[in-house]
Amino acid sequence: THQTLPLYSARNIALSLCHGRYLAFHDADDVWSADKLLLYKQRLDESPSSLIAFGSYIINTQRGSLRVSTTRSYTSPFTKLDDSFFSSYDVAMSSLVLSRVLFQSQQFNPRYQIVGEYEFILRTLFDASAITVIQQTCTVTQSSDSTSFRNPLSFAKELRHLAYKSRVSRRLRSYFLLHSNYKLFQSLTLTTKNPLRIF
């Protein structure tokens, strides 16, 4: 029988079936350059100690008839994924190629339906070394049809859980509280019956 699974449960099943050395994720509304995977593999092969490669990408934001394109560009050929890198959360899942080693002890948390990638990236890649593929390799679309846009209350509840109730490390919690205040504000105002009392 056919069964529809939540996104991150489905991704965990896909991960269990993978046998390649590197893994990449491609959503239906993303576009890769033709040479993306080759560029990433070449860079990773040149640095066996690095478990991640990521590249510059374009973000197409669509809200009704309004469409805005911005580019997230990296200029350094090597980046440590540390506090400064994550301060603005500039990682797109489609811009990553990951070593399968990272998934031997980590998976997506199926408790989340919207912020699963955000939580996974913060939890798994915080101390990993990475290589930058500087040229633009993919385009990511953020539209009003996105799950987070259509379900703001669920999005906010998951962020609130991630910040206050999830079993994350002290360092990750400190990062989240320092750098994601706007997300926390959104989660609190949307999930508190009387928003005026949240402070």
User: How does residue 129 score in pLDDT terms, banded at 50, 70 and 90?
Assistant: confident
Residue with tokens 């478990």: 51
Q: Which residues pair with 31 in a beta bridge?
A: 139
pTM of the complete model? 0.77
- Of 3-12, 16-25, 26-35, 190-199, where does mean pLDDT reach its minimum? 190-199
Give the pLDDT confidence of 47-64 residue by residue, as tens digits.
888 888 888 899 888 766
Q: What is the Cα–Cα distance from 54 to 17, expressed in whole angstroms?
A: 23
Q: What is the Cα–Cα distance from 123 to 162, expressed in whole angstroms?
A: 11
What 156-159 contacts at long range (C-beta under 8 Å, 24+ apart), as own/partner pairs, is 156/186, 156/187, 156/188, 156/189, 156/190, 156/191, 157/187, 157/190, 157/191, 158/112, 158/113, 158/114, 158/115, 158/187, 159/115, 159/183, 159/184, 159/186, 159/187
Q: What is the Cα–Cα distance from 151 to 6, expressed in whole angstroms?
A: 15
Q: What is the Cα–Cα distance from 188 to 18, expressed in whole angstroms?
A: 38
Give the pLDDT confidence of 68-109 residue by residue, as tens digits.
888 888 878 777 776 666 655 567 888 889 998 888 888 898
Q: Which residues pair with 32 in a beta bridge?
A: 138
> HEC profile for 10-22?
HHHHHHHHCCCCE
